[in-house]
Amino acid sequence: MRNAITLICTVMMAIGCAGSPRSMEPPEIFVSTLRLLPEADGNRQMGVTFLLRNPNENPVELDSIDFSIRLGSEGFLEGVVEDPGTVPALGDLRVRTTVSTEFVSAVSRLVSFLQGPESALPYVATGTMWLDTRPRRNLRFEREGRVPLAISATP
């Protein structure tokens, strides 16, 4: 009986370790596009696209991403991407979300921050990627960069 319990415990531990590798590198996250959408209910709408890059040989399953993005000195966005999906092994995943914000200044001031030939806006993104694991694990991130800004007349 004791040998059976030991065997069951060993098998359960092996299954648990195979499902969530401990030496996993966190996926890299970038803001790849921002789209300024028309106002709704007095708040500015922004479409945000993230690019997630997985440096691991195993896929990374995500439950959600909580984020905050500072745009130059002209305001910030906060939001959550629910159920972004799985970042493939050694691959990329793009996820999109729309956030409502009252903290982005006037469009003309935001556009004045655009720099370079690609009209990119400086940003700092911080947040947490929540892994789809039990127990629930998270990975914090912070990324600086420049992102193109598109202005859309329709949502």
Q: Which residue has the higher pLDDT, 105 or 41?
A: 41
Task: Please tell me the least confidently modeled range out of 42-51, 62-71, 82-91, 97-106.
Answer: 97-106
Count, in order, helices (H) and strands (E) of the chain.
Answer: 2, 7
- Is the pTM higher than 0.75? The answer reads yes
Quick check: 96 pLDDT over 80?
yes
- CB proximity list for 1: less than 8 A, separation 6 or greater: none
Is the pLDDT confidence value at 44 over 60? yes
Which domains, from first to last, does the chain contain? 25-151 (2.60.40)
Residue by residue, DSSP assigns 78-97 as EEEEEEEEEEPTT-EEEEEE
Give the residue from 65, 131, 123, 115 showing the smallest Cα distance to 94: 65
40 vs 112, residue with greater confidence: 40
What's the whole-number mean pLDDT along residues 21-38?
Answer: 86
pLDDT-derived band at 1 (thresholds 50, 70, 90) equals low
Amino acid making up residue 148: P
User: Residue 26 and residue 138: Cα distance in Å, rounded?
Assistant: 10
Token pair of 43, please?
């708040």
Q: What's the pLDDT at 11?
A: 46
